[in-house]
Structure 1
Amino acid sequence: MCLGDLTYAYVLGLRSGDAYETRDGYAYYRSGLTCLERPIQTTPVQSLDRAMGYVKIGYGGATRQIATCEALLAQCRDLRSIDNSAIELCELARGASDLIVDARSLSDSFNLISYPILKQAGGILCDLAGNSLDQVAIAKGQTVDYIACANAVLRDRVLLSLRDRGDHTYSDES
């Protein structure tokens, strides 16, 4: 089975009680505080200087991650790491962030099983070269470096930033 074969996902945040689910072609978020449920979609943010996102630096992968994302770190409004990959993909799907980059060569394909939620909310998941991850096998030991973005324009700008390591003069106009 590949990531693109997944059509259903349910993710429960054990700390927050927030729940995310795909149903009938839509992605939904249920607040752990209010128990209110609503359909979700990614943000329309297209410029890096307005983008907030997550970069993975834990579990011994910080050196590779920072080297890969150096230019991006200087260009984005805010970058952090808050939780596991499944929750972070769901946060992106509901518009709480705009992008995620994991370039540590440490995440396995099971970390991406919430992909249907991101996809139904309008988000994009690709490798560090911009190729879709739909054909990546969900298998033990299968590590995946990835970019997840709210939209194609932002994905293209993240890719440009990753290719443009060391040049911190990139400026967005939109």
Structure 2
Amino acid sequence: MKIKTSQLIFFFVTLLALMACLQTMMAINRNTKTAKIAQHTTQSTLAKVKQNEKNRSTYEQVDTVDIRDTTNFQEIGQQFINDMFKQLGQAQITHPKSAVATDKVISAFLGATFGGDVDEGRPEIKYLKDDLTYFKNADNTGVGFGTITYRQAGKEQSITVLMQIKNNKISEIQVGQVRDTSGTGGK
């Protein structure tokens, strides 16, 4: 059998066409995979952008002034001081109550100011003034530090107070008198 030149040319052209089609299909397949990878990357990036926008809006909603605003701590501390001096001025101080302080705090304050000494009869303790500074932390805890002046048995006295404020309650208190140990002679 003799193959004609035209058949050989036809076969060769068909083979080239098939190879070109095969290469085109492979290129399309590669381009499709590349497009899918690009689409996945774009979707992932968009999701991150949306999350970052959400985080930014949440961050912007945080009022940084709240950290410096100690009004609620001043109210808590003032209520506690008023509660305690009201209790001290009454004849019965065995069961004092304060809405903003724990039992241990009440006991510490009473022990430091009145000392539990009822020999003097009804205590005449009049709260004169306070000199407290309040600090508020970012975790919504705070500290009240300062000096409270009061009159007991005709004598003016003062006490240094350090109040730890947490969850709208005074959870810890340190009371006493700060003395100058530097030799300058001040209190």
Give the TM-score taking structure 1 as reference length: 0.25
Higher RCO (CA < 8 A, seq sep 6+): 1
Report the structure, 1 or 2, having the larger helix content: 2
- Structure with greater Cα Rg: 2
Give the TM-score taking structure 2 as reference length: 0.24
